[in-house]
Amino acid sequence: LLPGEIALRPGEEYSTPWVMVTASRHGLDGAAASMHEWERALPAHPVVQPVTLNVWEGVQFDHDFGKL
């Protein structure tokens, strides 16, 4: 937020989104592994996760079944 973007009156509260920060001596892969480990340990994390096929960049939004 920028200064003055949120003005609270006495007694009001503002809740910010969660922030997760990590550091690793093993570069981006190590940092990503740390974040994934943390997220998977959350009680609400689903055991089975759906698979998403992201093809938009490879086919330039031309989602023709023959090309896919």
Containing structural domain, residue 35? 1-68
Q: What amino acid occupies position 55?
A: V
Q: How many domains are there within the chain?
A: 1
**For residues 27 and 33, what is the distance between their CA atoms, to the nearest angstrom?**
10
Contact 37, 45 (CB under 8 A): no
pLDDT in tens, 48-62: 777 777 777 777 777
The pTM (predicted TM-score) of the whole model is 0.45
pLDDT of residue 33: 96
pLDDT in tens, 6-23: 899 999 999 988 888 999
